[in-house]
Structure formats: C-alpha cells, structure tokens
Amino acid sequence: MKKAIMLAGWMILFLSAFTQKIDYNSYPVYTGTDLGLTYSPRQSLFRIWSPPADNARLLIYKNGITDTASLIISMKKNTAGTWTAILPGDQKGKFYAFRVHINNEWLDEVPDPYAKAVGVNGKKGMIIDLKQTNPPGWEKDASPPAPLLVERGEAAIIYELHIRDASMAANSGIKNKGKFLGLTERGTKNEEGLSTGLDHLKELGVTHIHLLPCFDFYSVDETRPDLPQYNWGYEPLNYNTPEGSYSTNPYDGAVRIREFKQLVKTFHENGLRVIMDVVYNHTMLTEQSYFNQLVPGYYYRHTRDGKFSNGTGCGNETASERAMMRKFMLESVKYWVQEYHIDGFRFDLMGVHDIGTMNLISKELHKIKPGILLYGEGWTAGSSPLPDSLRAIKANAARLDRIAVFSDDIRDGIKGSVFDNNDRGFVSNKPGMEESIKFGIVASCKHPQVDYSKVNYSKFAYAAQPTNTITYAECHDNHALWDKLAISAKDATEAERKQMQKLALSIVLTSQGIPFLHAGTEFLRSKKGNENSYNAGDSINAIDWSLKSKNRDVFEYVKTLIKIRKEHPAFRMASSEEIAANLEFLADLPGGVVAYTINGAAVKDKWNKIMVVFNGTPKMQNIAVPTGYWSKALVSGSDPAGDITFAVSNQLLVGAYSCVILYQ
C-alpha cells in the first residue's frame, strides 16, 4: 500500500484525553462471537464492547441516510464490558447506529465495527437476513479443486486486479462497468475480438485473482456515481461489508453482499480462486473511527506521549497484539471465508501486525480451508512502537506459519529500485544483480550457491520454505513495469524494452515460490508514468484492452510460461531442501547472465532435466552449458539457434534480453 501520506501530519497531532494513563490490558475481554447484530425474524440482538462507557444507546433509523432516529433505546450493561439491546419482531430493512457515554460526554454515533451490512457510504448498519443475500446455487458453491500442492501455495499463480480497472475502459466490452458484476460477464471482447474481463483471466490461466480492497472503504462517495471518482481502497471504513460503489445499489446493504457473492461464485465456477486484499493495519478515520468512538484509544498503538503512532504513514496504526483487536481481525477473516467463501488474503502492511496474531489467523483459517493462501507486505511505512522482533516483517518470515511475504529483493533485482526512477535492474542491464536474481530463483531460501552478501537488500535466506516468498516484478504500487522500463532504460528501443518485460516475467514465472502478476503486465500495461495512482482516476488506471491486441505476442508468451509452470512441478518445489538439492546454478557465466539446471526426475517432473538461462545484457551471449540433447521449451526473444530441437555441443547462444528454457 502507498496512499495519501498527507493525512498523517495533522492527525497525529490530535491528543486524545483517553489515550494517556489508561491500562488497556485492564479492560475485560469478551470471548463471545455475537458482537454486532444477531438477526432472526423473531428479534434483533445488538451487542457492542465498550468497557469505559457508563451509558450506551442504540439508535434505529428508517433508512441509511436520515439523521433522525425513529427509535432510541438505552442499552443494558452486560458481561465483559459489553452492552446489549434486544428489539423484538422482524426488524429487517431498518438501519442502526450506537453512541456511548464516556467521561461525561456522548461520543459520535457509529455503526459497530462488526457491522455485516451497511447503508450508503457505510454510515449506518443495516438489519438484514444474510441468508437472503445468497445468489441461486450458493449452497453448492465450492472452491475449484486444488491444483497440485496448492495447499502449500506452490501451484498458485496470483493475478492482482482492481474491480474498477478491469471494466471501465470502453474497449473492455463489459456492461457493468466498475462493478462486481462486470467480472461475472462471459463472452466480453475488445474491439479486435479478443477476450476481456473474466474470459481473459481464464484464457491466461492464472489460478488466484487477488482483488484490491473490496471491503467498504471511505473516499468514494457512493451517492455520486456521476462523479469521476476513483480509489484503490486502502481506506478502511467497514471491514466486514463489501464496498458500496462496486454494487449496483449502494443504498441497500444486501445488494452489495449478493453481488460480491455472485462474483466469488462465478470465479469459482470458472476455476478461479478469490483473494481479498485486507487492510487491518490502520483505519481511514483516526479520532473519529468506528473503533475509536466506541472504545477510545484501545484499538491503536500510541507513542510514549500518548499520540497515535503512525507505522502505516496513514495517521494511525492498529494494535493487533491487544486482545480485542486480535479477536476482531481473526473473526473478520473467518467471516469472509465462511460467509463469502474467500480463498485467501493479502495483508496490507503486514509488518504492522504481530507474529502471534498472524500465526493464530493462519492456524484458524487453515482449519476451515486447508488450501487458504495467506501473504502480506513484510514491512511497515513508518516506525512502530512494537519491537521488530515481534512483528510480521520480512526478516521474520521463517517464523510465520504458512504465510508468505512479498520479496522486494527479487522485485527490485529484476527492474531496479522502486524508490529511484532511474535505477535499472537485471533485465535492463544493470551489472551486479546476478545474486539478487539467484536469491529470487530459490525463493529467498538457503542455497549453497547463492552469495547472500551480494543480494541487493536481504543478506540472508529469510524464507524457511519457498512458500514463504511471493515473487513479483510489479504490483499496484509504484510505476507499472512498462513505465519503469521506459524511464530507467530510455536508451533502449521499444522492441528491447518489450524483451526486458518478457524477461522479467520469465524470471517471475520460473522461480520457486509463489508468482504474482499485476493485472495487464501480460500485455504491457502502462499507467502513463503515474507512480502512485491511488486516486488518479480511470484515465490512468483503467485497463486498456486494446493493448492485448497490440502486444499479443507478449500475452501469448506469458500464457505459455503459465502453462509450463502449471505442468511442471520442478518450478515449484515443495521445500528449501529440495531446491538446494536439485537446482544447480551454472558457473563461469558472463556478467549479466544467470542460468541453472533442475534435476526434474528427482522431483517427479516429466522433464528429466531442465535448463533455464536469463540474459539481461544487450548482446547475444555464447555460454557454456552441460552437454546433452536439449529440447527447446520456450525462447523469449530472437532465437539465434533457429528452430533447433536439440543441441549436442556445450555451447548455447542466448539472444539479448532474453530467456531460454530447455529440457531433456
């Protein structure tokens, strides 16, 4: 995540009277699972947790917009710091909010953080019958059968997509533009007749669609679809409801639920799994957040002088180590899996969270869904009061239980630092990047032939297993890869940069670990040089589906790489020991060339032996390779050897900026 840092400055200046001198650990912990609304046609039971309150009210509304409550009910103090109210009869369709009284003051009226349905812009909870939000056939919905080893992540190929980006361009051919439903449409095509949207995802062959934030976020005004609004969505408002602007009717809290379920179901029917990008590390609002208006200060970390700490760069950071925040996160992800059949989560700024909470989440989610895929950003965006040793950061990846971290080592090894626009990487002929590429090939695991002292960032193998590592060259943050190459390799021709991008994706899709693709990278997506497009609008962000026609060769190449990866377990070995034993780097190569062989037979691959060569230099390289009858699987660029089916000499010609995959 990288978003509006501008909020941070003034928000942390707020000094909460409550945040000082309070021992939050003295608050009783509620262990029940009925926080928020428990609906039945006979009654609606409301329960909120607010130990410091001496009074609490439930406000009932006829709709989600009015400020005039039709009913105000005094809540009863209940066990473990909770407050309850019961409304008899069928209350379906009404809206609600709460206010608590603390230190002689009524705080703002807010829906509870557990709200499962909300009105427009998420300002009030909505009483609904969740059973009635299921699309037809929902009870039969199941995740696609696990591809080989998906339980441990190795077979997954992740595709990161923003709901709105997928369909907004006129040439998407999609009717429900910017909506969940847009990605449920079949048979959509661009102007040249090539598939778009859902059909494109199927054609490409990826296994998991990682959706940028789909929970209810703050900035897009859901009452104004006529305005040119856009946001990535890293602005959490209601964690347990889908975003209203992606629905066809944001006023009725049930519609967005049904439509998001429809999307999940359609993806599942088409062999795709769904990953949600979740952002528990901060809330969009700080003092005024729904957490903070019910239990001031509790859900956040603070600096020594009582201010909100800001490890996220967004004005606050949540405190996952506190019992009720940990419980909230755990129940929230469980809810998405159980109610929406979600198949995985990407944790934004996961380094803000403590390892204990992340491992508890992993343990509990794996019990429900053994094939669940969990990963996150193993870093923060600022300093945090929680010690590094306790945080789910990249350096602690080996202590995370079945949770992967993004490898910025391979990302920037491939293309150059994201913080220096002009910096180049291995694919754009920067010298000295070989060990960073090798580090990525072995998925940040221990390998006797990697010189860790020469890896760009990490000087040790932080991954215990390949499934600890997400391998990528680009994501929504920073410049699109195609733009980064245009800026940093400006002397190269467009044809050369195309070769560089294909080489980058070759590295991502042949490396051990879990590969991750940014939507559109397979046909050279550009964001027109915008490196932080979080609110930049459709003109920058919408996927231009004409690129699929224009760069069809790149698309076909990536599709082939994906096919090879799925068919060959050698590219997704199950353990670091297997990698160390069966993957051997070739020695004495020219600078800017990395090559290795895999003993395919040892890992039950149908290819007995595999050789992969990457040439990141602008010239053809003649390299010494093990003698043998090598067949060609894939060549990314010009093929100096022509249409060979085998080579018996120990010399191999590899074209400029290109990848060669051979097998025996």
Closest CA to 488 of 427, 551, 408: 427
How would you classify residue 472: left for phi > 0, otherwise alpha for psi between -120 and 50, otherwise beta? beta
At 49 the three-state DSSP class reads strand
> Minimum distance between the CB of residue 217 and Ca ion, rounded to whole angstroms?
5
Cβ proximity of 438 and 447 under 8 Å: yes
Closer CB to Ca ion, 214 or 342, in the complex = 214
The pair of structure tokens assigned to 519 is 């939507």
Residue 293's identity, in one-letter code, is Q
Which residues share a beta bridge with 659? 614
Given a contact cutoff of 8 angstroms between Cβ atoms, the answer to whether 402 and 366 are in contact is yes
Place of tokens 């080489």: 503
Distances (CA, A) of 517 to 206, 263, 444: 9, 20, 18
Torsion of CA 612, 617, 620, 625, to 10 degrees: -30
| Shortest reach from residue 479's CB to Ca ion, in Å | 27
Give the phi and the psi of residue 121 in degrees, each rounded to 5.
60, 15
The residue among 243 and 434 lying less far from Ca ion, judged by its C-beta, is: 243
At closest approach, how far in Å is the CB of 119 from Ca ion?
11
Residues between 188 and 227 that touch Ca ion (CB under 5 A):
216
By C-beta, is 172 or 219 nearer to Ca ion?
Answer: 219
Least Cβ distance, residue 290 to Ca ion (angstroms) = 13
Closer Cβ to Ca ion, 123 or 322, answer by number: 123
Residues between 21 and 80 with contacts to Ca ion, criterion CB under 5 A: none
Catalytic residue among 348, 354, 412, 522: 348
Nearer to Ca ion, 233 or 351 (CB): 233
Cα distances from 153 to residues 33, 350, 462, 473, 506, in angstroms, run: 30, 18, 17, 18, 19
Contact region for Ca ion (CB under 5 A) — 125-133, 236-244, 308-316, 431-439?
236-244
User: Is 139 labeled as catalytic in the residue annotation?
Assistant: no
What's the rounded Cα separation, in Å, for the pair 274 and 331?
19
- Contact status, residue 114 vs residue 35, Cβ threshold 8 Å: yes
Distance separating alpha carbons of residues 399 and 544, to the nearest angstrom: 41
Whether 30 contacts 324, CB under 8 Å: yes
Q: Pick the stretch among 93-101, 240-248, 312-320, 443-451 that binds Ca ion (CB under 5 A).
A: 240-248
Q: Which of 64/637 has CB closer to Ca ion?
A: 64
With CB atoms as reference, the residue minimizing the distance to Ca ion is 216
What is the smallest separation between the CB atom of 589 and Ca ion, expressed in angstroms? 52
Q: Which residues of 529-551 are buried (b: 16+ CB within 10 A; e: fewer)?
A: ebbbbbbbebebbbbbbbbbeeb
Nearest to 657 by CA among 625, 630, 621, 617: 617
List Cα–Cα distances, 248 to 116, 245, 297, 656, in angstroms: 18, 8, 36, 49
Closest by Cα among 74, 32, 82 to 52: 82
State the virtual CA torsion across 597, 600, 602, 608 in degrees, nearest 10: -110
Q: Could you tell me the sign of the dihedral formed by the alpha carbons of 544, 549, 553, 558, in that order? A: positive
- Distance between CA atoms of residues 650 and 426, nearest Å: 25
Cα torsion through 522, 526, 531, 534, rounded to 10: -80
Indicate if 151 belongs to the active site.
Answer: no
Angle 643-647-650 from CA coordinates, rounded to 5°: 140
Select 125 or 173, whichever has its Cβ closest to Ca ion.
125
d(CA 288, CA 108): 7
Number of Cβ within 10 Å of residue 204's Cβ equals 20
Cβ-based nearer residue to Ca ion, 246 or 472: 246
DSSP 3-state assignment of 88? strand
Neighbours of 23 (CB within 10 A): 6
Helix, strand, or coil (residue 408):
helix
Minimum separation from the CB atom of position 115 to Ca ion (A): 12
Look at strands 95-102 and 55-61 and give their pairing: antiparallel
Return the structure tokens found at 151. 């339980």
Of 253 and 425, the one with the shorter C-beta distance to Ca ion is 253
**Nearest CB to Ca ion, comparing residues 243 and 348:** 243
Q: How many residues bind Ca ion (CB under 5 A)?
A: 3
**Least CB distance to Ca ion at residue 222 (A):** 5
- CB of 324 vs Ca ion, minimal distance in Å: 24
Nearest approach in angstroms of CB 118 to Ca ion is: 8
End-to-end CA distance of the chain, in Å? 43
Other C-beta atoms within 10 Å of 369: how many? 17
Q: How far is the CB of 235 from Ca ion (least distance, A)?
A: 8
Q: Compute the least distance from the CB of residue 451 to Ca ion, in Å.
A: 49
Q: How far is the CB of 586 from Ca ion (least distance, A)?
A: 53
Q: Does 409 bind Ca ion (CB under 5 A)?
A: no
Q: With CB under 5 A as the contact rule, which of the stretches 86-94, 200-208, 235-243, 374-382 interacts with Ca ion? A: 235-243
Closer of 225 and 628 to Ca ion (Cβ):
225
Catalytic residue among 160, 377, 412, 435: 377
* Closer residue to Ca ion in complex, CB, 4/633: 4
**x/- map, 319-358, Ca ion, by CB under 5 A:** ----------------------------------------
Identity of the residue numbered 251: Y
Catalytic positions, please?
A: 348, 377
Q: Which residues bind Ca ion (CB under 5 A)?
A: 216, 243-244
